[in-house]
Chain A
Amino acid sequence: MEGVITRRNLLGAAGTGMALAAAGVVAREVIGTRAEAAGALALPPGLPAGTRAEARLDALPGKRPLIKLAYRPPNYETPVGYLGTAVTPNDVFFVRYHLADIPRIDASHWKLAIGGEGANGQASFDLDGLKRLPAVEVTALCQCSGNRRGLFQPHVAGVEWGYGAMGCARWKGARLKDVLDKAGVKKEAVEIVFDGADKGAVEKTPDFIKSLPLWKALEETTLVAYEMNGEPLPHWNGFPARLVVPGWTGTYWVKHLVSISVANKPFDGFWMKSAYRIPVGKFPVVSRFISQETAANTPITEMVINSLITSHADGASVKAAAPLSVTGIAWDGGYGIRTVEVSLDDGRSWQPAQLGEDLGKFALRTWSYGFTPKAGRQSVMARATNAIGQTQTAELIPNPAGYHHNVMQKITLVAR
């Protein structure tokens, strides 16, 4: 009842008869009678009151109802009930924009221009041309840098995300390095700069332009993707082509990509110089973006190790003295999940969860843990550890923009 996330709740909330199988959401314990519309919304109580007042289930064209945090520019997060699988369906994949003027792109007129002072020449691709390059597939998580910002204490201003500003898909596209090879990259090149077709409502708003260090841009898995889970990218996820930067936070995954420029010096636009920065030395990240570092701060890069319980919300009711399976997902910046552990005694002791299918080091990893709860309140904590020994933090690491929230989650189940 209270807080149990079920596909019935999700569907009821969605008010749609669309096929369940497509969502990949598996029914779990359905006990009780929580109002169906509240099931998918199930906002964490820690979110600011204003967010809780204005968030609602709302369907963007082509999407199922997601949790609307802001209409324009659109920021919609995925209800946790849809995040229990290693791959997130396209029609529930989260939507995040900085700028409100989002053109609907006609694929037959779309062009991707390659150039810049660090390029030997210029090149241009249409969609067919891009598809003629060798196609590569990678299953990778795209997570907003500010996912869980709404849970920061003390409060951090911004889009007040709960748990669902993330999704994992099977991306197909051309390697960025093959795209760049068409123009040729000079040895002086430092960064690659990316622009999408979206713009601000007024001309003076800084365009959303991002850069990557050359080494990350040239990785085999960095793609200009045109397919997501076997279908063209949804409009709201970057049609017809977007950057896919496995391991790194969503800010670099530029949507509706229209230009790529090779730069000989650090790009100093607003979205690199002033936004998406973290204090130097506070987070245990390996990947550095040295050309953009200052003494005080550095661009956010790889995602930190994290996990999420998806089967039950905090406060969920379960059956006492009956076998129970708590399930969830884990991820990191691309080193791979080594273990997920569960604690039933507030972190004093930990038992290994069973890991699900391994879809690659950039993908979500599902996990499950079975036990039989006694009647009463039962806390459940989860923590993930990756292949290089990093684990989740017990206490929030404060930072001005509210990034990298990877505090171990703790929920309380009520067994009756």
Chain B
Amino acid sequence: MRMRSILAVALLLAAAPALAEEKPIKLKPAAGLDKVEANCGACHSLDYIVMNSPFPTGSFWDTEVAKMINAFGAPIEASDAKVIVDYLKKSYGSP
């Protein structure tokens, strides 16, 4: 049993790619979606955006996008950041 399971694991590992197979996340269509996909999606899958909804309120998305730029070093242009925040507030926030 032990030998068989080790063998099975070894075979799996040999065949397995290093990366997870990421399925596309369909975000709500609205102005700015292209910027969100290009900028946010460059570093992380877009399910992170949907995960907390509908709770993000008020300045949540301002803070979150600023954190991505300032704390995590995301190379996002200021003009794009504004478009992204507007999209996120409208599509994945509540007033």
- The majority secondary structure among interface residues of chain B is loop
Size of the chain B interface, CB-CB below 8 angstroms: 37
Are A61 and B17 closer than 8 Å at their CB atoms?
A: yes
- The majority secondary structure among interface residues of chain A is loop
Contact of B45 among A19, A70, A102, A231 (CB under 8 A): A70
Q: A160-B51, A201-B44 are in contact. Are A71 and B9 (CB under 8 A)?
A: no
Are B51 and A48 closer than 8 Å at their CB atoms?
A: yes
Are B6 and A200 closer than 8 Å at their CB atoms?
A: no
Are B18 and A70 closer than 8 Å at their CB atoms?
A: no
Does B31 count as interface, using CB distance less than 8 angstroms? no
Does A50 count as interface, using CB distance less than 8 angstroms? yes
Are B43 and A50 closer than 8 Å at their CB atoms?
A: no
What is the minimal beta-carbon distance from B43 to any residue of chain A, in angstroms? 4
Q: Which residue of A lies closest to B47 (CB)?
A: A54
Are A50 and B53 closer than 8 Å at their CB atoms?
A: yes
Chain A residue numbers with a CB within 8 Å of B78 are none
Q: Per-residue 0/1 for A193-222: is the Cβ within 8 Å of any B Cβ (1 yes, 0 no)?
A: 000000011111110000000000000000
Are A48 and B54 closer than 8 Å at their CB atoms?
A: yes
A25 to B30, CA, bound (A): 45
Q: Which residue of B lies closest to A201 (CB)?
A: B43
Are A103 and B18 closer than 8 Å at their CB atoms?
A: yes
Chain B residue numbers with a CB within 8 Å of A231 are 5-6, 9
Does A73 count as interface, using CB distance less than 8 angstroms? yes
Chain A residue numbers with a CB within 8 Å of B72 are 200, 202, 204-206
Q: Which residue of A lies closest to B71 (CB)?
A: A270
Are B43 and A202 closer than 8 Å at their CB atoms?
A: yes
What is the minimal beta-carbon distance from B1 to any residue of chain A, in angstroms? 8
Q: Would you list which residues of chain A between 220 and 264 have a CB under 8 Å from chain B?
A: 230-231, 234-235
What is the minimal beta-carbon distance from A386 to any residue of chain B, in angstroms? 32
A158 to B55, CA, bound (A): 11
A74 to B48, CA, bound (A): 11
Does A49 count as interface, using CB distance less than 8 angstroms? yes
Does B38 count as interface, using CB distance less than 8 angstroms? no
Does B75 count as interface, using CB distance less than 8 angstroms? yes
Are B12 and A62 closer than 8 Å at their CB atoms?
A: yes
Are A274 and B71 closer than 8 Å at their CB atoms?
A: yes
Q: Per-residue 0/1 for A53-70: is the Cβ within 8 Å of any B Cβ (1 yes, 0 no)?
A: 110001011100000111
Chain A residue numbers with a CB within 8 Å of B48 are 70
What is the minimal beta-carbon distance from B59 to any residue of chain A, in angstroms? 12
Q: A200-B73, A230-B2 are in contact. Are A69 and B51 (CB under 8 A)?
A: yes
Chain B residue numbers with a CB within 8 Å of A103 are 18
Does A104 count as interface, using CB distance less than 8 angstroms? yes
A234 to B8, CA, bound (A): 13
Q: A231-B6, A270-B71 are in contact. Are A54 and B42 (CB under 8 A)?
A: no
Are B50 and A54 closer than 8 Å at their CB atoms?
A: yes
What is the minimal beta-carbon distance from A255 to any residue of chain B, in angstroms? 14
Chain A residue numbers with a CB within 8 Å of B52 are 48, 50-51, 155, 157-158, 160
Are A73 and B44 closer than 8 Å at their CB atoms?
A: yes
Are A72 and B20 closer than 8 Å at their CB atoms?
A: yes
What is the minimal beta-carbon distance from A354 to any residue of chain B, in angstroms? 29
Contact of A71 among B20, B43, B54 (CB under 8 A): B20
What is the minimal beta-carbon distance from B51 to any residue of chain A, in angstroms? 5
Q: A62-B12, A74-B20 are in contact. Are A48 and B71 (CB under 8 A)?
A: no
Q: Would you list which residues of chain B between 29 and 46 have a CB under 8 Å from chain A?
A: 42-45
Are A72 and B73 closer than 8 Å at their CB atoms?
A: no
Chain A residue numbers with a CB within 8 Å of B16 are 61-62, 235
Q: Which residue of B lies closest to A51 (CB)?
A: B51
A69 to B52, CA, bound (A): 11
Are A50 and B50 closer than 8 Å at their CB atoms?
A: yes
Does A22 count as interface, using CB distance less than 8 angstroms? yes
What is the minimal beta-carbon distance from B25 to any residue of chain A, in angstroms? 7
Of all A-B residue pairs in the complex, the 10 with the closest CB atoms, nearest first, are A204-B73, A61-B16, A50-B53, A104-B18, A71-B45, A71-B22, A201-B43, A155-B55, A72-B45, A50-B50
A-B contact pairs, 5 of them (CB 8 A): A48-B51, A73-B44, A157-B60, A202-B43, A234-B9
Q: With A50-B53, A270-B71 given, name 20 new contacts (CB 8 A).
A: A49-B53, A50-B50, A60-B20, A61-B17, A69-B51, A70-B45, A71-B22, A71-B23, A71-B25, A71-B47, A74-B20, A102-B18, A157-B55, A157-B56, A160-B52, A202-B75, A204-B73, A204-B75, A205-B72, A235-B18
